[in-house]
Amino acid sequence: MAQYSKIMIAVDLSEDSAEVATKASAIAGGDTSGLHLIHVIEPLSFAYGGDIPMDFSGIQDEIHQQATQQLTAFGNAHGIPAERQHIVLGRPEVEIHNAAQEIDADLIVVGSHGRYGLALLMGSTANGVLHGATCDVLAVRVGDHD
């Protein structure tokens, strides 16, 4: 197994995120000095495609503020300091690739729900991260394992 010195952990801040972080920490041998966290917030305009003539900026700011608080608590619980916690706005697969390149990560760890069929065709973050990554990617199976 390759030795990884900089590991980007992509989390959605759901309860499954702890499983992803635990796996990344195990790969790092318990040494958290090379671990980075990233959480990507998708703009509300992506979800609604501009179909609703509404100003989402206040709601988007609230989402960002809550995500920052959650990521800070999550990072502290896993021994990852604030300077290695990243919150960005955009498409998850694009922003995870960008952040991994920026820190020169040699591994991205992301959770995967093991979707198949139509759900996979509709796209998943893990699938998007896998395709186009310039480093190794580990998709950790989370959620229901049926």
Q: Which residues pair with 112 in a beta bridge?
A: 141
Token pair recorded at residue 109: 């760890």
Q: What is the pLDDT of residues 43-75, one digit of tens each?
A: 876 655 555 566 667 888 899 999 999 999 999
Torsion of CA 4, 83, 130, 60, to 10 degrees: 170
Query: How deeply is 143 buried, as exposed, middle or buried, from its count of CB atoms within 10 A (0-12, 13-18, 19+)?
Result: middle
Q: What is the pLDDT of residues 85-138, one digit of tens each?
A: 999 999 999 999 999 999 999 999 998 875 544 444 445 788 888 888 999 999
pLDDT at residue 43, as a whole number: 84
* pLDDT greater at residue 1 or residue 34: 34
Distance CA 124, CA 7 (A): 21
Q: What is the pLDDT of residues 8-28, one digit of tens each?
A: 999 999 998 999 999 999 999
Q: pTM for this structure?
A: 0.85
Cβ–Cβ < 8 Å for 39, 67? yes
pLDDT at residue 117, as a whole number: 47
Cβ–Cβ < 8 Å for 8, 106? no
In order of their start, the domains of the chain are 7-141 (3.40.50.620)
28 vs 2, 80, 126, 138, CA distance in Å?
11, 13, 20, 13
pLDDT at residue 141, as a whole number: 86
Torsion of CA 70, 71, 76, 77, to 10 degrees: 70
